[in-house]
Amino acid sequence: MVFQQIIPVHVDTIQLLCLFLHGNFDPTMTDKIRIKDIAQRAGVSVGTVDRVLHERPNVSSKARARVEAALKEVNYQPNMYASALAYNRSYTFIVLIPRHEQVAYWEEIEEGVKMAQEARRDFHVKAEIMYYEQFDEQSFLDTTRDCLEAQPDGVVIVPSDLEVTRRFTDQMHERGIPFVMLDSYMPDLKPLAFFGQDSFSSGYFAARMLMLIAGQETAIAIVKLTSNGRVVSKQQDNREVGFRHYMHDHFPSVAIIELELPLNGTRQLHNSMLEEFFVARPDIHHCITLGSKAHVVGEFLLRTNRRDVQIMGYDMVGKNAECLRQGSVSFLIAQHAYQQGYSCVDTLFRAIVLKKKVQPVNYMPIELLTRENVDFYRRTQL
């Protein structure tokens, strides 16, 4: 005996299915409440209701109040997807990120961007990636000029220096181009939204994890890769504030020793400076770098066979991961890079195409990688 499951289907669903099969399906037919109905309920014209729905001017306060009351009474929900499809226009979003080699963090961001584009293909959304040379101000300025010349509908940007980035974002504000910030948050620039880690909390968390294994030490080291005496990332500055805040509150007696390495220094120079440092400070067994180049120290430790020293760092860079596997890096803090890339493009889509309000600040989870779980880390889907 064959049993068939009987699934109850609403009559309206059957009618819509038949219309779809015969090529007569109109997505707007799913809206049970029409603008005409709202106008009759509020005692105004259809044009007045349309102006209120699209937040246009030339509506009296009394008429607006009546329309809004009528909308609330019937719980009117406009079909934004159907409206967007009906316009049948295309949208171009440009994503500005640093040029990179094989770095999993940026690769996953690119994957997220491409997947978001694919998910919105029916709306003719195109996401184009432009690259600039990280730490090169002129390259950033040249790329942003090319971006503006392309006249995008929206932009995702990994910012450079605050003031350099401001030159670009001011021009986007003047032209009415919405932009989303990725990786580093600069609220003064007034982005539509931000996706990335809370840098202060991330640094605080990093200190807590480091001191789980360095709690008995009298001194630890912060290794900085600097250009002209300063780190080139505001995000790293904020991480250091969080790191020092935790140390001040919980390990005030532990000395924090700084070692600055030139960002563009050769391996030979870095090795020489590291050798001199560890010879002078044999009491240092745990270090941290608040950027993505923990491998600069990690590879030195492996080459010199210093098994009593470890460094903690950031980002799922291939060289960092290898040092983590071999034991010279103790921990890596990683981010949901794929989700960041996807969400940035999707946020532009929802704000620009669907005219929806979006969440302005979106902090990503803080993930801790060890040699036991590093090979399983890769975000390929939301």
Tell how strand 219-226 and strand 179-182 pair up.
unpaired
Q: Which of 8-12, 142-146, 156-160 has the highest mean pLDDT?
A: 142-146
Instruction: Quote the tokens at residue 117.
Output: 């584009």
Yes or no: say if 173 and 190 are a contact pair by the CB < 8 Å rule. Answer: yes
Yes or no: say if 242 and 200 are a contact pair by the CB < 8 Å rule. Answer: yes
**Distance between CA atoms of 238 and 234, rounded to whole angstroms?**
6
What are the chain's domains? 25-77 (1.10.260.40), 87-197+337-365 (3.40.50.2300), 199-334 (3.40.50.2300)
Angstrom distances, CA of residue 35 to CA of 22, 67, 104, 289, 329: 27, 10, 49, 59, 62
**Structure confidence by residue, pLDDT tens digits, 35-77:** 888 888 889 988 888 788 777 788 898 989 998 888 888 777 6
Yes or no: say if 236 and 275 are a contact pair by the CB < 8 Å rule. Answer: no
**Regarding predicted confidence, which is higher, 108 or 176?**
176
Instruction: Quote the tokens at residue 121.
Output: 């293909």
Q: What is the pTM of this model?
A: 0.70
DSSP string of 12-63, one letter each residue: HHHHHHHHHHTT---GGGG-SS-HHHHHHHHTS-HHHHHHHHTT-S---HHH
Measured in residues, the chain has a length of 382
- Confidence category of residue 345, pLDDT binned at 50, 70, 90: very high
Residues facing 126 on adjacent strands: 92
| pLDDT, position 103 | 59
| pLDDT, position 36 | 84
**Structure confidence by residue, pLDDT tens digits, 124-156:** 999 999 999 877 889 999 999 999 999 999 999
Q: What is the 8-class DSSP label of residue 180?
A: E
